[in-house]
């Protein structure tokens, strides 16, 4: 621990011997963050057509990452956020739990402040491709665990298991960042606990030339939403899949959203953290989820599923929100009483994704006028 509490210290341990993983860490005001070295490589991003409950935005394609990079072995803790920012916005308090209720914009402020203390760290968010590559750690299955997960492995809502899996506990809150297993590359809780912001704008995967992989992809050139990955304590098993993509406005805060730090080479210039002055003012909206899974917004209640909040606050006026809430309530009632094992909410979320894309297209046409 540093002698001056305001000093940031780093420690790099090059552990190539005996097959150990290269690791580094830094410490600021007593809060420590360890990072793992992720080597360059090639992998298949997205999910196959045969993967149950996949989304239509998960088109499989080959990706080459030409540079290795560092990735935090855990999501950012509340202790580190508090040390850097001087506050703790999290709904589920605990120094060793992930910070939650932070927007993509908030994370940019955090990065600017931390990089201002020690610029040589050059911390950033991972690209979406880097995130999935690190999550899979060489695997090709829906989860790095294999074809299935359990609540003993991942913090998700066990009432909604993946693809016919057994039901289990729903913790209804976050857990400490080291509480559940790490993957083969030493990264903890890449599935579940909190959604993790990525640097990319959300959009369809950019097509590479025929028979050629995408090289160091950085996502859409522009957009309305930023990408999140990994699933959360609030969502069912399908949302924790390695290939699942979520898109939220960069100013939105939810109690199931956090982030994981990255460091190191990445070719696209867009990964440089966006300066606070460059962001649109007044786009932040605070929302919270209670321990029983309710969502509260300043104007009206919105659905309880982690993907459905994309629409309710973004594209709907008040009259449509009321209709939306009634639809979700009817679907949940049907699932409880008629089809307890059906993934009806999953079907709804697929409809949400289509609606989101239509709204994006409408916005682009409006901007061109």
pLDDT of residue 178: 98
* pLDDT higher than threshold 80 for residue 355: no
Count of C-beta atoms within a 10 Å radius of residue 304: 18
- Is the pLDDT assigned to residue 367 strictly greater than 50? yes
Helix and strand totals (H; E) in the chain: 6, 17
Percentage of residues of the chain with pLDDT beyond 70: 65
Given a contact cutoff of 8 angstroms between Cβ atoms, the answer to whether 45 and 132 are in contact is yes
Q: How many CB atoms lie within 10 A of CB 128?
A: 25
Please report the pLDDT score of residue 15 as a whole number.
Answer: 42
pLDDT digits (tens, 9 = 90+) for 37-93: 999 999 999 999 999 999 999 999 999 999 999 999 999 999 999 999 999 999 999
- Given this model, what pLDDT does residue 211 score? 75
Across 330-335, average pLDDT:
63
Mean pLDDT over residues 97-118, rounded?
97
DSSP for residue 251: T
Look over the chain and give the mean of its residue pLDDT values, rounded to a whole number. 80
Return the pLDDT at 115.
Answer: 96
Residue 255 confidence (pLDDT):
95
Instruction: Report the pLDDT averaged over residues 207-216.
Output: 81
Give the pLDDT confidence score for residue 171 in this predicted structure.
95
Q: Where are the beta strands (DSSP E) in the chain?
A: 8-13, 23-28, 31-38, 41-45, 61-65, 69-72, 123-124, 195-201, 214-215, 226-229, 246-248, 252-253, 257-259, 262-263, 285-286, 288-289, 295-296
User: How many angstroms separate the CA atoms of 231 and 149, rounded?
Assistant: 12
Q: What is the mean pLDDT of residues 233-251?
A: 96
Confidence of residue 229 (pLDDT cuts 50, 70, 90): very high
Note the pLDDT of residue 257.
Answer: 97
Q: List domains and CATH numbers for the chain.
A: 8-291 (3.90.1580.10), 297-369 (no CATH)
Cβ atoms 264, 67 nearer than 8 A: yes
Q: Which residue has the higher pLDDT, 4 or 154?
A: 154
Average pLDDT over residues 87-114: 98
For helices 318-337 and 344-368, give the axis angle rounded to 10 degrees. 160
pLDDT score of 127: 97
| pLDDT for 206 beyond 60 | yes
Nearest to 54 by CA among 204, 309, 247, 244: 244
Write down the pTM of the prediction.
0.74
Weakest mean pLDDT among 12-16, 119-123, 244-248, 320-324: 12-16
Long-range (24+ apart) CB contacts under 8 A made by 296-300 are: 300/325
Residue 35 has pLDDT above 90, yes or no: yes
pLDDT band at 22 (very low <50, low <70, confident <90, very high): confident
33 vs 275, higher pLDDT: 33
C-alpha–C-alpha distance, residues 155 and 193, integer Å: 5
Give the C-alpha separation, 160 to 168, whole Å: 8
Q: Specify the range with the lowest mean pLDDT, choosing from 58-67, 87-96, 256-265, 317-326.
A: 317-326
Where residue 316 falls among pLDDT bands split at 50, 70, 90?
very low
Burial of 293 (0-12, 13-18, 19+ CB in 10 A): middle
pLDDT at 264: 86
User: Alpha-carbon distance 358 to 369, whole Å?
Assistant: 17
119 and 131 in contact (C-beta within 8 Å)? no
Mean pLDDT calculated for residue range 177-193: 97
């Amino acid at each position: 621990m540093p002698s001056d509490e305001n000093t940031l210290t780093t420690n790099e341990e090059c552990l190539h011997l005996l097959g150990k993983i290269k690791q580094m860490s830094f410490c600021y005001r007593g809060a420590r963050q360890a990072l793992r070295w992720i080597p360059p490589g090639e992998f298949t991003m997205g999910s196959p057509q045969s993967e149950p409950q996949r989304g239509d935005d998960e088109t499989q394609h080959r990706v080459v990452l030409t540079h290795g990079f560092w990735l935090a072995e855990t999501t950012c803790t509340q202790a580190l956020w508090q040390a850097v920012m001087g506050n703790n916005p999290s709904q589920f308090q605990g120094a060793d739990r992930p910070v939650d209720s932070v927007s993509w914009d908030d994370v940019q402020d955090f990065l600017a402040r931390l990089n201002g203390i020690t610029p040589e760290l050059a911390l950033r968010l991972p690209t979406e491709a880097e995130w999935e590559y690190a999550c899979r750690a060489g695997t090709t299955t829906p989860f790095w665990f294999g074809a299935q997960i359990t609540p003993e492995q991942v913090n998700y809502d066990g009432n909604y298991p993946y693809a016919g899996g057994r039901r289990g506990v729903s913790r209804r809150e976050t857990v400490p960042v080291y509480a559940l297993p790490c993957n083969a590359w030493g990264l903890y809780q890449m599935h579940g606990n909190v959604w993790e912001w990525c640097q990319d704008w959300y959009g369809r995967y950019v097509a590479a030339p025929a028979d050629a992989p995408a090289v160091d992809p950085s996502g859409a050139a522009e957009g309305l939403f930023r990408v999140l990955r990994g699933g959360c304590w609030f969502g069912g098993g399908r949302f924790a899949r390695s290939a699942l993509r979520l898109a939220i406005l960069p100013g939105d805060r939810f109690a199931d959203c956090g982030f994981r730090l990255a460091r190191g080479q990445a070719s696209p210039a867009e990964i440089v953290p966006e300066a606070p002055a460059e962001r649109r003012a007044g786009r932040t909206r605070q929302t919270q989820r209670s321990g029983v899974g309710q969502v509260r917004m300043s104007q009206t209640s919105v659905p309880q599923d982690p993907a459905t909040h994309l629409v309710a606050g973004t594209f709907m006026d008040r009259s449509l929100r009321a209709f939306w809430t009634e639809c979700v309530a009817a679907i949940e009632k049907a699932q409880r009483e008629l089809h307890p094992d059906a993934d009806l909410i999953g079907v709804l979320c697929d409809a949400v994704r289509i609606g989101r894309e239509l709204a994006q297209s409408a916005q682009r046409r409006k901007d061109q006028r």
